[in-house]
Amino acid sequence: MGKNNVKRTILLTMLFLTVWLSFPQMQIFPQEQQKPEEILKNADELFQQQKWEDAWRLYELLLKTFGQTRFISGKSEDIKKKKTECEKKLGIVTNISELFKGKAELKGSGKKRTLTVTYDFKDQAQAEDFNCTGGTAKVVDGKLLFEPEGELSFMNIKNALFTDKITIEAKVTVLKPFSGRMGFLVFLNTDSFEGYMFCLRYREASNESMFNNAILKISQKTEYPTPLKQNSKPEIKADTQYSIKAEAKGKNLTFYVNNKEVVTAEDKDFTKGMFGIISLGNKVQLDDLKITGQANDEWLNKIFAESTTLTLAEDELKESNGEARLVYSDDISAESDELIAKASTAAVNYIADARKRRNNLITSSQEPSRQAWLDLINLCTKAIQEDPDFALAYYERAMNYKEIENYVKSEEDLDKALQIFPGFYEIYNKKAELSLNKLQYDNALELLNKAIEINPNYSTGYSLRALVNFLLDNNDAAKTDLKKALELNKDNVEAKNIQRIINGPDWPACFKKETTHYIVKTDINQERCDAYAEAIEAMFKYYSSLFPLDNKQKKKGRVYIFNTHKGYEIHATLTSGSSLENSLGYYQPSFKELYLFEDPNNHEPTKKVLYHEGFHQYIHTGIEEIPIWFNEGCAEWFYGTTLKNKTVVSKGDICPRLPELQEAVNGGKIQSLDVLMNLSHKEFMGETASLNYAQSWSIIHFCLNYENGKYKGYLEKYFNALKANKPAKDALDASFKTVKDFNKMEQEWKDYVKGLN
């Protein structure tokens, strides 16, 4: 199995995290608003009032943000004591043993703490500690059964990271049929897939009949894992239990079988990473598993932080359970009994049928086809043919046109509905949404003012106007509108989501860095905040050097970097309706904000996602409607950037999806450039989404690099047409379609893709 395939499988491990929710509280930026003396006074008052959570948050903020100051140093013991008392009252976990189903113990202090976790597998719940990729882990008859579901399976324990030293001991039985290797991984970096493997039954390519016990080095420098040392004894047999011990201490790597040293090696390239158990096609039984090592301090802090956040969110989780994630919609004024009675019966029946089908499409687990929406449009058209003065029919057709991204037709129908029924205030709301898509904020504000003028009790109008004010950086006006929206309808989910955005993530302490074009915030520390702020500011210069925008930023871009994955999922769920658990970051176009979380195993992936999603945020400030292929293709190009000292030192790194793309090109399964460049967002994100991403990236790569930029000018023409608000098809006609021989260019692109490596 090639290293790239192994890497892709292993990387999925990081996705096994629980989805959960929380509501944000008022956020404090201590360095801007309060002195530590004031915070401590408030904390002590809250403590005396037994407001444990509020007091805990302030004590946590003091220790994390002002812990090194002279004021705190003389009071730290008292603060820690009161903080501990709050934690007891709140049920916050402070002992490592409560975070594992196995028996866990943490010894030492500072950054050199030794974690020991042992499993006897007498309790089936112990299997819950294991994160699995490509297989399952369950306790059967007092042993952990690790069962692969494919060629390669991997599992670890709570994504635990170790530094400098680790020892793994276990009783291992490889069950029949014994078809391949298994072993322990140590100091594994899941992004680069580098580390060491203590392997049973390693088979060399030069002698496939010879199986050895080996210590392998997995490195980007070699295509396949390289044996540092190996030993053919003892022979490992199926259905036989062996006592296995793998030990890494500094540069010394030692492998034991049945208490005898069988392989020893020296190497010091990797000293930090994950522990894991890997199997290539074999069912494995484990008993008496024990892991001991120097726990990575950053990982320890994150695992306690995740547990704390979950504990504090528990009550609100119960309260929010089952809350709708759809934007609230008031009853539509155009369907009053009086107006419906005036409409043709046949027209009313057509619209009733269309609405029923629309609801089925929206609630379906499968993505509706374009034809399904066209069928609904036809039903609405039949209603209009029966009754040309039926305002509701135009409104419904407009909503369906919007689903297929035909915004021109949608707005035409909205205008017609408003012409028929001037009191149709919801139309102004929908037209405001279309104006937001065009970045016409002032026009959206004017439309919403009209809606609220017609109906001062229109909750949804206030919540959308709050969003517009937020985008214009009018936060006070936004808060006033949100208050009114929730007074009118306490269940207005849209208003709640916007309120969460304005409040920001629920962080006891927040670190902030403001640059020329961005405001970056995080709950990690100031050093990491500064690093991310410098990186995204450097990328802004790179974005604008390739694709300069004409308009001036209305407000600085907001970027939030979460310390934990679970905190990231909380915010995503409550503001976008999805936990986005299978992601490192995302750009939220509705709020123009960027969210990421930092992986403790390697910070580099977070930076790469920042560069990708940052382009979406950048381009969305200047272009109304961005063709999906261009948006994602450019974002993937910028993903391949490396910065050093705020300077781009490499760019256009090869996309990880390249092998998939080359296979499709060679197999004739690729879409034509003409088709790809005209795909709608929904079409692009369909079954071939991964391939569409790769193809889009390759077009940008081709235009910028092929024959010293032979087609770069056409890419620039395309971009300039988009800046002029030309539709995707017109932009294509004004640029790439002016190439003398478009088919020749397409063939050159295919040949270029085949030659990439």
211 located within any domain: yes
- What is residue 577's predicted lDDT score, i.e. its pLDDT? 67
Average pLDDT over residues 507-519: 93
1 has pLDDT over 60: no
445 located within any domain: no
The label of the residue with tokens 């781009």 reads: 648
221 located within any domain: yes
The alpha carbon of residue 662 and the mean position of all alpha carbons in its chain are separated, in whole angstroms, by 27
671 located within any domain: yes
- What is residue 463's predicted lDDT score, i.e. its pLDDT? 96
Show which of 387, 421, 455 is a domain's final residue.
421
Spatial distance between the Cα atoms of 654 and 664, rounded to a whole number of angstroms? 17
Spatial distance between the Cα atoms of 189 and 6, rounded to a whole number of angstroms? 13
Q: Are residues 82 and 140 in the same domain?
A: no
Mean pLDDT (the chain, rounded): 88
137 has pLDDT over 90: yes
2 has pLDDT over 70: no
Q: Are residues 173 and 257 in the same domain?
A: yes
- What is residue 331's predicted lDDT score, i.e. its pLDDT? 65
Which strands sit side by side in the sheet containing 518-522, from one edge to the other? 511-514, 518-522, 557-562, 593-597, 585-588
β-pairing verdict for 143-148 and 182-189: unpaired
Share of the chain above pLDDT 70, in %: 92
Q: Are residues 238 and 345 in the same domain?
A: no
443 has pLDDT over 90: yes
139 located within any domain: yes
Q: Are residues 87 and 116 in the same domain?
A: no
Q: Are residues 79 and 161 in the same domain?
A: no
- What is residue 208's predicted lDDT score, i.e. its pLDDT? 56
| Higher per-residue confidence, 319 vs 335 | 335
Spatial distance between the Cα atoms of 103 and 86, rounded to a whole number of angstroms? 26
| Higher per-residue confidence, 717 vs 134 | 717
- What is residue 316's predicted lDDT score, i.e. its pLDDT? 58
Please give the tally of structural domains in the chain: 4
List, for residues 684-706, the tens digit of each pLDDT value.
998 899 999 999 999 999 999 99
Q: Are residues 116 and 57 in the same domain?
A: no
Average pLDDT over residues 671-675: 94
Q: Are residues 103 and 69 in the same domain?
A: no
Q: Are residues 127 and 256 in the same domain?
A: yes
502 located within any domain: no
11 has pLDDT over 50: no
Q: Are residues 73 and 180 in the same domain?
A: no
358 located within any domain: yes
Show which of 66, 92, 118 is a domain's final residue.
92
Share of the chain above pLDDT 90, in %: 68
User: How does residue 204 score in pLDDT terms, banded at 50, 70 and 90?
Assistant: low
CA atoms within 13 A on the CB side of 549: 18
- What is residue 322's predicted lDDT score, i.e. its pLDDT? 42
262 has pLDDT over 60: yes
Q: Are residues 302 and 366 in the same domain?
A: no
List, for residues 62-71, the tens digit of each pLDDT value.
988 887 778 8
Phi, psi of 171 (to 5 degrees): -95, 120
Interacting residues of 58 by C-beta distance below 8 A, sequence separation 6+? 39, 40, 42, 43, 46, 508
Give the domain extent around 400: 334-421
Q: In this structure, which amino acid lies at residue 658? A: L
0.95 surpassed by pTM:
no
Q: Are residues 345 and 392 in the same domain?
A: yes
Q: Are residues 292 and 387 in the same domain?
A: no
| Higher per-residue confidence, 11 vs 148 | 148
List, for residues 571-618, the tens digit of each pLDDT value.
887 777 676 777 889 998 888 899 999 987 778 889 999 999 999 999
List, for residues 721-741, the tens digit of each pLDDT value.
999 989 999 999 999 999 999
CATH number at 281 reads 2.60.120.560
580 located within any domain: no
CATH number at 710 reads 1.10.390
